[in-house]
């Protein structure tokens, strides 16, 4: 048995002691007491008040190491392993490969590859970032808010179109981002919700009324809050305003300093009560892990500078910064406390898709976070339990 002492854990009050089984599972979490020497105690790790968390979960990531997820083929299985290993080194335990708007054929091919890869990961049981399913960001998006999505592949939502895309891959599709105003009956949202697929509203011009109807039909998430949607307005709060005031709706957001002003992130997190209604995403593109430069992006090109990717016309396409950089940014920008920032990258993404957070029975793939008082910087490392 391994004991971790003097740990701070997001969501727990005061210093905690964590007991880890030889199989690296969390067996007990309890408030700190006086140290008692026990026989057969294999190891004691005193983290001296540092924060301990599970690894990050990224619900919106478009590629890595030069591979865009909508472009994957059966030849890319080894490359996907490399990406998972890379994300593991960046503190990510699990992620949803995100397929931006593309052709139905490309959606089908990518889903087929990821279905095979997920089965392979389950069989191998390696210490690496796990593919938890797939996020379809499109093609049911509003043309006026398409952002960098290719217009020729946009579709209006319909049950027939959903079936063509999802087909036999329903079990691995975890999230679909759509614009609710494109389908006034709400039957697509109801259908997806009934099948256990999370509906996220985004790339949309929905009014507050339209968003409310979508939430009543079963939508429960917002894709990259503020981006590709109407701004908050005092007379028309819009999609985002309705999401903020609706219980059990989670707003994903990007914290790279370019997609959303830190001031607006402060407003969002105060309104959402932090991790209770929001979660971090990276929205990272294929050049994640590669140096700045010009890279292909579907039939176009993106230019990456200082971790931000743009099309030639200046349209923001995404970032190349890993998820936990967002956690560090939130603390360094003094937007929220350390506990909340860590939870936004590790706890709330799990809860948004129905997974357990830090609790007994979880695998002890743990991160140790340290606040460096002299530099006023938050750093992290994977906790070695060997």
What are the catalytic residues?
283
Question: How does strand 308-311 pair with strand 316-319?
Answer: antiparallel
SS3 content of the chain, % helix, strand, coil (to 5): 30, 30, 40
Residue with tokens 């176009």: 300
Residue with tokens 């054929």: 105
Closest CA to 366 of 36, 132, 119, 53: 53
- Contact (Cβ atoms closer than 8 angstroms) between residue 95 and residue 59: yes
Question: How does strand 300-305 pair with strand 308-311?
Answer: antiparallel
- Contact (Cβ atoms closer than 8 angstroms) between residue 303 and residue 319: no
For 153, residues 6+ apart whose C-beta sits below 8 A from its C-beta are 101, 102, 103, 138, 139
Instruction: Using alpha carbons, list the distances in angstroms from residue 301 to 283, 286, 295, 312, 314.
Output: 17, 12, 6, 7, 11
Question: How does strand 250-254 pair with strand 221-222?
Answer: parallel
**What residue spans of the chain are helical by DSSP H?**
77-89, 104-124, 159-166, 187-194, 208-217, 238-245, 262-272, 323-332, 338-346, 348-352
**374 by DSSP, 3-state: which?**
coil
Q: Residues in the chain, how many?
A: 386
Q: For every residue of 248-275, which 3-state class applies, written as one string?
A: CCEEEEECCCCCCCHHHHHHHHHHHCHH
Token output for 139: 């093609």
Looking from the CA of 291 toward its CB, the CA atoms found within 13 Å total: 1
């Amino acid at each position: 048995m391994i004991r971790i002492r003097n740990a701070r854990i997001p969501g727990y009050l005061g210093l905690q002691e964590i007991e880890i089984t030889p199989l690296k599972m969390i067996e007990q979490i309890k408030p700190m007491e006086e140290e008692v020497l026990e026989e057969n105690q294999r190891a004691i790790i005193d983290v001296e008040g540092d924060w301990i968390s599970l690894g990050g979960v990224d619900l919106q990531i478009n590629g890595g190491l030069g591979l865009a997820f909508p472009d994957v083929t059966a030849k890319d299985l080894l490359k996907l392993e490399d990406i998972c290993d890379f994300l593991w080194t960046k503190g990510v335990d699990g992620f949803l490969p995100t397929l931006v708007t593309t052709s139905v054929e490309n959606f089908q091919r990518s889903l087929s590859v990821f279905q095979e890869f997920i089965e392979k990961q389950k069989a191998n049981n390696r210490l690496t970032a796990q593919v938890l399913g797939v996020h379809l960001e499109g093609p049911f998006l509003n043309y006026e808010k398409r952002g960098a999505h290719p217009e020729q592949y946009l579709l209006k939502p319909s049950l027939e179109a959903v079936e063509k895309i999802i087909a036999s891959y329903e079990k691995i599709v975890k999230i679909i981002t759509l614009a609710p105003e494109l389908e006034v009956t709400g039957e697509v949202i109801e259908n997806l919700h009934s099948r256990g697929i999370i509906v996220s509203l985004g790339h949309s011009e929905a009014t507050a009324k339209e968003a409310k109807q979508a939430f009543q039909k079963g939508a429960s998430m917002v894709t990259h809050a503020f981006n590709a949607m109407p701004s908050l307005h005092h007379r028309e709060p819009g999609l985002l305003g309705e999401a903020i005031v609706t219980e059990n709706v989670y707003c994903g957001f990007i914290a790279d300093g370019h997609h959303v002003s830190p001031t607006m992130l402060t407003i969002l997190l105060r309104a959402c009560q932090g991790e209770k209604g929001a979660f971090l995403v990276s929205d990272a593109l294929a050049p994640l892990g590669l140096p700045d430069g010009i890279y292909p992006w579907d039939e176009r090109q993106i230019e990456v500078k200082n971790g931000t990717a743009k099309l030639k016309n200046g349209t923001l396409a995404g970032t190349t910064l890993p998820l936990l950089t967002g956690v560090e940014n939130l603390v360094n920008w003094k937007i929220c406390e350390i506990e909340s920032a860590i939870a936004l990258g590790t706890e709330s993404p799990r809860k948004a898709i129905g997974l357990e957070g830090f609790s007994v029975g979880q695998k002890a793939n743990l991160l140790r976070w340290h606040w460096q008082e002299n530099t006023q910087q938050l750093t992290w490392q994977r906790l070695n339990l060997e």
